[in-house]
Structure 1
């Protein structure tokens, strides 16, 4: 695979195995700077395993795995974050017994070389005013949508170049889902590159530039968001057409 000059993430022949079970079976994908790329597919398709493998949280093998021109293979998760690649995991996973403020500062504590944590936190509180209002509350007292915003803000405290989002709308009320997708779009407008895993196919394709569809650990379809929306397979399986 020859990558365009603006490629930020390049993966060739990625396999993720848990014992004898292959969750991801030799996939190729790229993410270019400034894009939103979405990974679509049913539960168990291999989407979360792909994101976890990229950041070093899942057992992985690949012919090639590069971020910003540097090899990711064998790189531990904390080093991946320092290089500018951060994951917001499925289920939010905020530290419930810590305050919003403490969660944010933990997000930036180990990565000050990528920016001043205090300045980044001030930007987060301006971008997420509800978090400023809840700054000294325990994260466990927040609503699901507020916890999702905190999880995203905590990831952004490391000033990433590429943000991986795993099911950010999962379990949220429709109105809050709209807010989360508006937020994702606004992050791209500010220059952030995003790789998005979502089961909300319609809204994902509204904000994405390109997408990949996974099934049984393999990429079955790929193309621009417009091409995927027009695909009979996508319409039949996900869009109710």
Structure 2
């Protein structure tokens, strides 16, 4: 018996003035899977995640655990178990690693023990334990990415929206990031991954969507898309 989708999206539209960034896309994410969104720059990937997290106004239906959350704001969606790690990391550079983590869990104190969750993050990200009292702005790009993900996980989400986690990172750090994503998914965390490194994303994802001009151009098993000559020519040739 197939499990009900954790996230079910129908006819999602996002507009910025006269520009249609996302045009009527529909998809679902099963519990415990990695779904990758790939496509060229400007295809609507980041706008999709922003709409799902409640940060960008959108039309269409967004259902989470079978309940329509389309009318809910970002804070309430976060409280339900949806967390976004934005593109560009966006850590608070003047605050320490400890303070960034504290802010990540501040709105969810009733959901879990913040101290226990912090210790879990420091165990999962040993480099953050070493840098615990340093300002986030002094961390390397890879360390800031780890902090951004850890900060999102402080809310104990069931669905993690990851936007371009490997962007601007050295190849060795990229390897670490993808290993981390697989490890997190192995704990049962459901992940919606937007990633410019399409080949790496398809290697670890269960299913994938290819967006083009704000619409779904292709969808299917990630392994099938990875093997497709058309996908390889369009997105994996670099």
TM-score if structure 2 supplies the norm length?
Answer: 0.98
Aligned partners of 2:28, 2:218: CA distance in 1, in Å?
A: 14
The answer for the alignment partner of 2:111 in structure 1 is 114
What pairs up with 1:115-134 in 2 under 5 angstroms?
Answer: 115-134=112-131
Give the drift of 1:71.
1.4
Kindly provide the CA deviation profile for residues 160-198 of structure 1, in whole angstroms up to 9, marking residues without a partner as x. 000000000000000000000000000001110000000
1:212 to 193, 209, 212: 209
The structure 2 residue matched to 1:159, chosen from 156, 165, 173, is 156
Answer yes or no: is the 8 Å Cα contact 1:10–1:29 preserved in 2: yes
Among candidates 195, 198, 205, match of residue 195 of structure 2: 198
Could you tell me how far apart the structure 2 residues matched to 1:61 and 1:194 are? 22
**Shift, 1:5, TM fit:** 3.3
Superposition RMSD in Å:
1.0
State the number of aligned residues.
Answer: 237
Displacement, 1:153? 0.1
Distance across 2 between alignment mates of 1:46 and 1:13: 14
Secondary structure class of the residue paired with 2:133: coil
| TM-score in terms of structure 1 length | 0.96
Aligned runs of 1:46-61 on 2, under 5 Å?
46-61=44-59
How far apart, CA to CA, are the structure 2 residues paired with 1:225 and 1:98? Answer: 39
Aligned equivalent of 1:21, options 12, 19, 22: 19
Q: Does 1:184 align with 2:212?
A: no
2:92 matches 1:95 = yes
Q: 2 CA distance for matches of 1:114 and 1:68?
A: 18
* Counterpart Cα distance in 1 of 2:171 and 2:223: 23
How far apart are residue 115 of structure 1 and its match?
A: 1.1
- Where structure 1 has 5 or more consecutive residues not aligned to the other structure, the ranges are none
Q: How far apart are the structure 1 equivalents of 2:67 and 2:80?
A: 9
Equivalent pair of 1:162/1:194 in contact (CA under 8 Å): yes
